[in-house]
């Protein structure tokens, strides 16, 4: 088993004192893998990413990044530690040019280091290079997503958190985004992804974690879950009890939690 | 993901900060024409040109706070007043203008930094009221602390500086001095807004949560947006004190802040040259409308309402609006 990069241990977190979303969530994500978080609406998938990235402070429990407890760390600290976050939806600064959007991704870098990093990112995204002086709002949906991911890669993160990357993209572009994430993972970047487009995402992911009511309900290899006839039920919020897990656990492993 | 797989569609290129030699040449012609304009004007005309420059410094600062960083402020006149009083009190005590100018700028920077703290907790109209309250507070201090500020009697006999032994006492040299200083300040702000700081301000305005997730220090940039805007007004205040020679609290009340806000919005908030157009509207247009005698303020009000209805993005958004109409994007 590869090295554990991210660990959640009995994390309780929410947006207000009366609104608890994560109810003792426990899971881990491993180095160089794409870990896919799935579950019904309100299960706490995006909240996991926000808690991990310091946007929410856990009330109890531990969040660890490469073995270091990072509860309540600021987003800038986490970026410096090697974590990057691409939130859901459109995240570009529409009034700025493509280049300036990229530069913002490296605002924490010393000036002399910024230009080579931008070149490095542009080498990966030739289409973005062509549009470098255009206003970001003129990019297509797929180009915008490329730019968002490219901007997140500017700090060479070891962990990439990405929330619903397929929203608003055509099926072809979704495949392109997933292939990019797979390529990053194969190069050693740990990807933790929330995605509603489950069947496509499972084809590229290594592991799938099913969240239900803020708790981990199932931890399975992605390929095993992809072949599971109960996938839709699990994703839409079907209860995962002992019997259901027995019927869906493949020979390859995985466990109900 | 390989972008080459995407369909290539030709789109209009629109750099975020367009700069061209033509524009620079045009700007140089306008500046030279404006510099020579008072040669054909009487004393009051020269005074208005200097006043235009003073307000330009303050509205450029306010444009950074509001237009670029997206922080509402109704307290710019208070900083103009603080700068003016610091310069006036110092110069009356015999200190040189060039010692009081950085002091006024630094004091306003520090107070602006402090005024930025409410912006970390509240936004929009709540922040507007917080800054409005600050303006009222400063006005009351200027009016009531008579021992220091002269109260409603104000401070008289504020001298004008001399530069390298050259007296700026006369209107025309003082105008050129103020114009040169304004251009220097505008150039500095232009450099700042084209630097990574400018991008961080824009990110703060467009989406502070996303900006923070990229490592932009939201707290620092919010405070700096207020501090730099206030600093510009403080500098303007020092020039204002020397220009008018007499200051009392009246020009620094809440109405003046509203007028400056109007200047920024009418010109085009977040557009670099928006304050130039806006300041023409708030300083020079009322004077041009004086031929209407008792009706000039009413005409000014109607003109502003019409502008806001037809061009909510400010006067500088006119070319874009016309272009949108041409392609049928607007009714």
B116: left (phi over 0), alpha (psi -120 to 50) or beta: alpha
Which residues from A are below 8 Å from B13, CB to CB? 133-134
Tell me, yes or no, if B263 comes closer than 8 A to chain A by beta carbon: no
Cα–Cα distance, B112 to A8 (Å, whole number): 42
Q: Which residues of chain A have pLDDT under 70?
A: 1, 233-257
Tell me, yes or no, if B327 comes closer than 8 A to chain A by beta carbon: no
Q: Give this prediction's pTM.
A: 0.85
Cα–Cα distance, A30 to A20 (Å, whole number): 26
pLDDT of residue B299: 83
Nearest to A177 by CA among B5, B213, B209: B5
Residue A163 lies in a domain: yes
- Is 0.90 exceeded by the ipTM? no
Distance from CA of A238 to the nearest CA of B (A): 34
Domain range for A220: 4-90+159-256
Q: How many domains does chain A have?
A: 1
Nearest to A98 by CA among A133, A62, A63, A72: A133
Residue owning tokens 């492993």: A253
Yes or no, beta carbons of B212 and A75 under 8 Å apart: yes
Nearest to B226 by CA among B80, B62, B56: B62
Query: With contact defined as beta carbons under 8 Å apart, do A216 and A209 qualify?
Result: yes
Distance from CA of B60 to the nearest CA of A (A): 19
Query: With contact defined as beta carbons under 8 Å apart, do B90 and B105 qualify?
Result: no
pLDDT of residue A214: 94
Tell me, yes or no, if B212 comes closer than 8 A to chain A by beta carbon: yes
Q: Which residues pair with A65 in a beta bridge?
A: A6, A68
Residue A149 lies in a domain: no
Yes or no, beta carbons of A95 and B1 under 8 Å apart: no
Tell me, yes or no, if B196 comes closer than 8 A to chain A by beta carbon: yes
Yes or no, beta carbons of B16 and A100 under 8 Å apart: yes
Total count of residues recorded for chain A:
257
Yes or no, beta carbons of A79 and B270 under 8 Å apart: no
Nearest to B243 by CA among B150, B317, B172, B323: B172
pLDDT tens across A31-72, in order? 999 999 999 889 999 999 999 999 999 999 999 999 999 998
Residue B196, burial from CB neighbour count under 10 angstroms (0-12, 13-18, 19+): middle
Which residues from A are below 8 Å from B200, CB to CB? 104, 107
The DSSP letter of residue B5 is G
Yes or no, beta carbons of A143 and B6 under 8 Å apart: yes
Which residues from A are below 8 Å from B199, CB to CB? 93, 96, 100, 103-104, 107
Residue A152 lies in a domain: no
Helix axis angle, A98-105 to A111-124, nearest 10°: 120
Which residues from B are below 8 Å from A15, CB to CB? none
Yes or no, beta carbons of B203 and A104 under 8 Å apart: yes
Please give the sequence-ordered ranges of beta strands (E in DSSP) within A189-237, or none if there are none. 190-194, 207-212, 215-221
Encode burial over A177-190: b for 16+ CB neighbours within 10 A, e otherwise: bbebbbebbeeebb
**Degrees (nearest 5) of the Cα angle A48, A51, A55?**
135
Residue A238 lies in a domain: yes
Which residues from A are below 8 Å from B1, CB to CB? 125, 142, 146, 149, 173, 176-177, 179-180
pLDDT of residue B240: 98
pLDDT of residue A95: 86
Cα–Cα distance, A179 to A200 (Å, whole number): 10
CA-nearest residue to B216 within chain A is A107
Yes or no, beta carbons of A146 and B3 under 8 Å apart: yes
Residue A213 lies in a domain: yes
Residue A169 lies in a domain: yes
What is the rounded (10 degree) CA torsion for A99, A105, A108, A112? -30
Q: Which residues pair with A83 in a beta bridge?
A: A159
Structure tokens at A144: 């915008």
Which residues from A are below 8 Å from B11, CB to CB? 131, 134, 138
Residue A206 lies in a domain: yes
The CATH number of the domain holding residue A241 is: 3.40.50.300
Give me the tens of pLDDT residue by residue for chain B, a chain 331 residues long.
444 433 333 444 444 445 678 888 999 999 999 999 999 999 999 999 999 999 999 999 999 999 999 999 999 999 999 999 999 999 999 999 999 999 999 999 999 999 999 888 888 889 999 999 999 999 999 999 999 999 999 999 999 999 998 999 999 999 999 999 999 999 999 999 999 999 999 999 999 988 999 999 999 999 999 999 999 999 999 999 999 999 999 999 999 999 999 999 999 999 999 999 999 999 998 888 888 878 877 888 888 888 888 888 899 998 888 888 777 665 5
Which residues from B are below 8 Å from A166, CB to CB? none
């Amino acid at each position: 088993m590869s090295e554990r990069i991210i660990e959640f241990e009995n994390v309780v977190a929410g947006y207000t004192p009366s609104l608890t979303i994560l109810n003792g969530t426990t899971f881990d994500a491993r180095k160089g893998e794409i870990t896919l978080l799935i579950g019904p609406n309100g299960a706490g998938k995006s909240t996991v990413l926000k808690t991990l990235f310091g946007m929410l402070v856990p009330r109890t429990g531990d969040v660890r990044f490469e073995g270091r407890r990072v509860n309540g760390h600021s987003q800038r600290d986490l970026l410096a530690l090697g974590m990057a976050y691409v939130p859901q939806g459109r995240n570009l600064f529409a009034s700025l040019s493509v280049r300036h959007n990229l530069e913002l991704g490296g605002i924490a870098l010393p000036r002399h280091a910024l230009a080579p990093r931008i070149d490095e990112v542009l080498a990966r995204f030739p289409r973005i290079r062509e549009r470098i002086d255009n206003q970001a709002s003129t990019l297509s949906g797929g180009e915008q997503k490329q730019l968002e991911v490219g901007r997140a890669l500017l700090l060479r993160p070891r962990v990439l958190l990405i929330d619903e990357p397929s929203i608003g993209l055509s099926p072809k572009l979704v495949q392109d985004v997933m292939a990019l994430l797979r390529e990053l993972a194969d190069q050693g970047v740990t990807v933790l992804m929330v995605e509603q487009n489950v069947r496509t995402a499972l084809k590229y992911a290594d592991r799938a974690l099913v969240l239900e009511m803020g708790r981990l309900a199932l931890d399975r290899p992605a390929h095993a879950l992809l072949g599971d006839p109960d996938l839709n039920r699990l994703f839409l919020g079907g209860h995962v009890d002992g019997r259901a897990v027995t019927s869906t656990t493949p020979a390859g492993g995985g466990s109900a939690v | 993901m390989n972008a080459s797989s995407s369909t290539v569609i030709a789109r209009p290129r629109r750099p975020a900060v367009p700069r061209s030699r033509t524009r620079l040449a045009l700007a140089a012609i306008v500046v030279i024409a404006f510099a020579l304009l008072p040669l054909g004007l009487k004393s009051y005309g020269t005074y208005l040109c200097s006043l235009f420059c003073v307000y330009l410094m303050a509205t450029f600062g306010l444009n950074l706070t509001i237009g670029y960083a997206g922080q509402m402020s109704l307290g710019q006149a208070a900083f103009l007043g603080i700068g003016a009083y610091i310069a006036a009190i110092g110069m009356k005590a015999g200190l040189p203008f060039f010692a009081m100018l950085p002091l006024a700028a630094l004091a306003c920077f520090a107070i602006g930094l402090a005024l930025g703290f409410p912006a970390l907790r509240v936004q929009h109209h709540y922040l507007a009221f917080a800054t409005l309250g600050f303006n009222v507070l400063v006005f009351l201090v200027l009016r009531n602390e008579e021992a220091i500020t002269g109260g409603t009697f104000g401070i008289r006999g504020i001298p004008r500086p001399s530069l390298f032994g050259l007296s700026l006492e006369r209107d025309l040299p003082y105008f050129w001095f103020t114009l040169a200083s304004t251009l220097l300040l505008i150039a500095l702000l232009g450099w700042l807004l084209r630097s990574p700081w400018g991008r961080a301000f824009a990110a703060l305005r467009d989406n502070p949560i996303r900006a923070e997730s990229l490592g932009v220090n939201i707290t620092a940039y919010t405070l700096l947006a207020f501090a730099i805007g206030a600093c510009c007004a403080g500098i303007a205040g020092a020039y204002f004190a020397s220009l008018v020679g007499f200051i009392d609290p009246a020009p620094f009340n809440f109405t003046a802040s509203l007028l400056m806000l109007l200047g920024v919005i009418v010109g085009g908030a977040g557009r670099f040259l928006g304050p130039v157009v806006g300041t023409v509207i708030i300083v020079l247009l009322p004077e041009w409308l004086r031929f209407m005698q008792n009706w000039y303020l009413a005409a000014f009000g109607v003109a502003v309402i019409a502008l806001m209805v037809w061009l909510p993005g400010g006067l500088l958004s006119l070319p874009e609006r016309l272009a949108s109409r041409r392609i049928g994007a607007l009714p």
